[in-house]
Amino acid sequence: MIPATVIFTAAIAAILLAAIWRFTRPASKNPPLPPGPPALPILGNLASLDPELHSYFGSLARKYGPILRLQLGRKLGIVVSSPTVAREILKDQDVTFANRDVPDVARAVAYGGSDIVWTPYGAEWRMLRKVCVLKMLSNTTLDSVYGLRRRELRRTVGYMAGRAGGSVNFGEQMFLTVMNVVTSMMWGGTVEAGEERERLGAEFRRLVSVITELLGQPNLSDFFPALSRFDLQGLNRKVNAAGMNFDRIYEEVIKKRGEMEREGKESSGVPDFLEFLLKLVKEEGGDAKTPLTMTHVKALLMDMIVGGTDTSANSIEFAMAEVINNPRVLERAQQELDEVVGRDNIVEESHIHKLPYLNCVMKESLRLHPALPLLVPHCPSEDTVVAGYSVPKGSRIFVNVWAIHRDPSIWEDPLEFKPERFLDESRWDYSGNDLSYFPFGSGRRICAGIAMAERMFLFSLATFLHSFDWKMPEGKKSVDLTEKFGIVLKLKSPLVAIPVPRLPNPSQYE
């Protein structure tokens, strides 16, 4: 048995040697890591994470500053919460941070990360973005499918008018509308009106909600890669089930399009996105340097469904909730609509550029409730320095656009819904050039669907505010604006309201 005095002496000697080594070793040439909360062994800060990550990260930033670190198991997380630091990442060092830290769940649902959202920055990603922006999301294409947007909105107006005086789940109806527009653009087949339309719309929304919720949920498989094969939280199992449902739908429409081609049948109307993609696959084959494959096709369809429906529907739902809670804003928006559109007419997309106040309503709602509150996580391709701190290669970078949009040093009364703040501020656009306001991101990985989202948002909001007055169900005085975090932000409680027709002619609701 070793005497206690020997153990004590050895311990003192070890402490002294450690102190001498610490204070006499050569100074590191690398800057320190960003500050952050104390971390536990092995788990790091995982045990203290709040489910509402956007607001939790905002509270940490108030304590530790505009750039901070979190040890997430074996993964280092870096949280950015100021325009200055965000500019270093999304502008000054854009190429370095243009990659993604792909979560296990995303790999499972996006065909191994073969889509535009998760593919690493490079030739393959540039090919996918070019395909999307030039064909699916260009202004020319969006102009050509205006009739689809108009048709689906008129259907929804008719549905709501038929339930006038009763409660309507606005979010579900908005999701269904956007979903039908997106699927019409993708493969031309929409869900018909009636109970089948409602049933399939609810199923689509459930599947998309599952995917977006799982993408925003901390996953042990990401933070301890050795545990990935065990899927301890069951997240991969859940997302695979949702993904298989979507894959079945994609296989069916691809098969149907192939049968049409073999039978010599031509698609009616405007050629859809799927037709264009399959043509590219056939023409390029294996000859192109970065060929488009069938896996890419299905991954892009998944992007359009998940990225193009839930984000738009939830953003429009937030805007409607804010307007209903602010009678002054509702009155001013409807007055502008009556002056520009008139009560004897219905809203057309050509009216939108004449509605500056409505545009401000959209911008203010996206300020308070950005669709992706932490954007999609970035990942540096090499060790670098940001704001004087070391940021190691492979870190997961969270840009807290939600916190920046609510920063009192940038915005007066930041928690108040004030569309007027955008009336005289022409610099507030969606280009991502001003890192005080960038609801669609910035840099090379900025959202490819801004033009589509802007059109759908404004056209929908204008139509529903022009066509109806809105009341709360009995017993409720206002809409609960409590947010539920996910990679896509949404209302914790769905917006349920009563539409009251305000236009004089019943034919305006047909």
Binding residues: 447
Backbone φ and ψ for 99, nearest 5 degrees, come out as -85, 170
Binding residues for heme are 447
* Sequence-ordered list of residues with C-beta below 8 angstroms from that of 60, at least 6 positions apart, any chain: 36, 37, 68, 70, 79
Concatenating the DSSP letter of every residue in 99-161 gives EE---HHHHHHTTTT-STTTSPTTHHHHHHHHHIIIIISSHHHHHHTHHHHHHHHHHHHHHHH
Helix-strand-coil split of the chain, %, nearest 5: 55, 10, 40
- List Cα–Cα distances, 144 to 179, 259, 347, in angstroms: 18, 26, 18
- List Cα–Cα distances, 460 to 148, 174, 221, 264, in angstroms: 13, 8, 40, 38
Token pair in block for residue 509? 């609701």
For β-strands 75-80 and 396-399, DSSP reports them as parallel
Cα–Cα distance between 134 and 131 in angstroms, integer? 6
DSSP tag of 470? E
Largest CA distance in the chain: 98
Position 131, amino acid = V
Cα–Cα distance between 447 and 429 in angstroms, integer? 14
Q: Is 445 helix (H, G, I), strand (E, B) or coil?
A: coil
Cα–Cα distance between 274 and 277 in angstroms, integer? 5
Cα–Cα distance between 311 and 447 in angstroms, integer? 11
Q: Exposed/middle/buried for 465, CB within 10 Å: 0-12, 13-18, 19+?
A: buried
* Sequence-ordered list of residues with C-beta below 8 angstroms from that of 189, at least 6 positions apart, any chain: 183, 253
Q: 460: number of CA atoms within 13 Å, CB side? A: 30
Concatenating the DSSP letter of every residue in 57-104 gives HHHHHHHH-SEEEEEETTEEEEEE-SHHHHHIIIIITTTTT-EE---H
Cα–Cα distance between 100 and 60 in angstroms, integer? 23
